[in-house]
Amino acid sequence: MRLTKGADYAARGILHLAKLPPGSVALVSDIAALEGLPNSYLAKIFQDLAREGLVHSFRGAKGGFALARPASEITLRQVIEAVEGPIALNRCLAPWEGCDKIETCALYPVLAEAQKRLLAVLDNTTLQEIAQSDSELLRNLL
């Protein structure tokens, strides 16, 4: 299992905003160039992030995107699910699909526990924490 490019780009793009001073607005083209991401794809992803209320979109000469709320209030799970939809390790764990073998399947409890732990990590990891960690890594490299 791995994240799609869309989820990866969403995380990298919104993380860029989280590293800026609060209230800062950035152009998708600038974020794409600085992060080495494809501009047109990132623009589509940022529309998804805006639709989910994670970023605000501003039009005009001073337009661009800004975080819709503090980085400390945006989790990595929210970012991933804004682009990918709900996370499910297997179809039996997806509430919209279900499985008629849950009661008799020895694999189900193992996968359910793995998903529970994964979601807990993603729910408890905020953009602020990742941005701070990234800043510390940069300071240590210099």
| pLDDT digits 0-9 by tens, 87-135 | 998 888 887 777 788 888 999 999 999 999 999 999 999 999 999 886 6
Per-residue CA distances from 84 to 10, 27, 58, 90, 117 (Å):
10, 23, 24, 14, 19
Strand partners, 126: 75
The kind and range of the H/E element at 67 are strand 64-67
| pLDDT digits 0-9 by tens, 2-36 | 889 999 999 999 999 999 999 899 999 999 999 99
What's the gap between Cα 23 and its chain centre? Answer: 19
What pTM was computed for the model?
A: 0.88
Domains of the chain plus CATH, in order, are: 5-141 (1.10.10.10)
Q: Given this model, what pLDDT does residue 138 score?
A: 55
